[in-house]
Amino acid sequence: MVHSPVKVEKLLPAFHSALHEELTLKGLFNSGNFDEFRGALGDKVTIRIPGTVGVNKNYQQIGGRARADRTQDIAFETYEEAKVDLTLGEHAYSAVAIQDEQTAFDLVSAESLVPVQGRALAVEINQACGAQIAGADYTFTVVGHEGALRKTLVEARKVLNKVGVPSEQRILVVGSDFEAALLNDEKLTFASSVGDNRASAALGEATLGGLLGFRVVVSQEVADDEAYAFVPSAFVLRTAVPPTPSSVALGGSYSAEGVGLRWVRQYNNRRMQDESTVDLYYGTEVVKDVYRYFDSGEGKEIVADTPVVLRAINITLDAADATSVHVEGDETVAGHLGVAVDNGEGGEA
């Protein structure tokens, strides 16, 4: 009996379906794939994130009914985007060998492993996103207390407002203990409507609801008593598909909704087994911004020299008591942006 070849186009969407069901954190990132990637593992790519501009007011302001003489030029500034150099330094793969006996007696085939291998890759990417969130070099950390969660989240909102993070699409990713504390706090009420833009079924199931302007998402990939407030542009995730060798019997790639995958299948006659491999390159990074601040001494807006993490902040429940909710962080940046910090043993911000 001659078996007709399996069409790659019919199998690879099943990989995507499996990813779609498992990815909780990917939908919270600025994510995408490089469909035409021709590089190699470890190559760097530059991603552009929209920047901001300042406002110069009072151009030869008119006093009373007198006309301005327009003798001076208006002040121009240079628009700069945030640029992220992302290294595609990780190679996630799932490789499974199917022996002839399994095919003959257990009815196992490469096609039946499609959702299993796809789900394994989803777990890997999800953990990488969680590690990126938990390991970022945060400029500010709100130190709160379980008995003052509302006050803690209000403080987090205030910090985000001070540094200029847009109020739209704010996300609060919480660990399991932090989630339990939120759900047990009678002073907090979750809004049932948090928007329709959900990247996956898994993300929808992980969403608790809206709270104080945040979309609250629980994640097992961050520490139990930690939380992170950010907007989607705070982190980037990119995937790339390795090239498909022309020598394999069956292979191809598929990309959708920010995830690209390669599938290679061939028979190893020396070991009498069918081999199915699914893989992709990926990389994650936190976005850092070169911020602006007004220097009263010079009477003008200054652009800072060093980029820092501003689109995301850390929240931890480490305060000694409910009255000691405060902000810790870089004092220089805090002074520029008007954020009150306390890097001592306690006290209020």
Q: Strand 235-240 and strand 250-256: pairing?
A: unpaired
> Is 195's pLDDT higher than 60?
no
Quote the CA–CA distance of 252 and 275 in Å, as a whole number.
15
Residues 226 and 323 in one domain: yes
57: in domain = no
pTM: 0.79
> Is 7's pLDDT higher than 70?
no
Residues 277 and 302 in one domain: no
**Residue 16, pLDDT score:** 63
Residues 155 and 15 in one domain: no
**Residue 131, pLDDT score:** 94
The mean per-residue pLDDT over the stretch 62-68 comes to 50
Residues 296 and 213 in one domain: yes
Quote the CA–CA distance of 126 and 128 in Å, as a whole number.
5
- Of the spans 28-32, 111-115, 210-214, which averages the highest pLDDT? 210-214
Q: What is the mean pLDDT of the chain?
A: 79
Q: Degrees (nearest 5) of the Cα angle 327, 223, 342?
A: 10
CB 216 within 8 A of CB 208: yes
Residues 142 and 198 in one domain: yes
**Residue that wins the pLDDT comparison between 53 and 247:** 247
Q: What is the pLDDT of residues 144-166, one digit of tens each?
A: 999 999 999 999 999 999 998 88
120: in domain = yes
Residues 37 and 88 in one domain: yes
Q: Strand 259-268 and strand 250-256: pairing?
A: antiparallel
Of the listed ranges 21-35, 45-59, 91-105, 138-152, the least confidently predicted one is 45-59
Q: What is the pLDDT of residues 101-141, one digit of tens each?
A: 766 655 566 667 777 888 888 888 889 999 999 999 999 99
318: in domain = yes
- Using alpha carbons, select from 342, 309, 304 the residue that is nearest to residue 323: 342
Residues 247 and 193 in one domain: no
Quote the CA–CA distance of 245 and 104 in Å, as a whole number.
28
Q: Which DSSP letter does residue 136 get?
A: S
Residues 190 and 110 in one domain: no
**Residue 181, pLDDT score:** 92
Q: Which DSSP letter does residue 68 get?
A: P
CATH number at residue 216: 3.30.2320
Dihedral in degrees, nearest 10, Cα atoms 209, 213, 215, 218:
-80
Q: What is the pLDDT of residues 248-283, one digit of tens each?
A: 878 877 776 667 788 888 888 888 888 888 898 999
The mean per-residue pLDDT over the stretch 57-85 comes to 57
1: in domain = no
CB 41 within 8 A of CB 284: no
Range of the domain at 181: 137-234+288-337
The domain total for the chain is 2
- Using alpha carbons, select from 110, 118, 126, 127 the residue that is nearest to residue 16: 118
Give percent of the chain above pLDDT 90.
Answer: 29
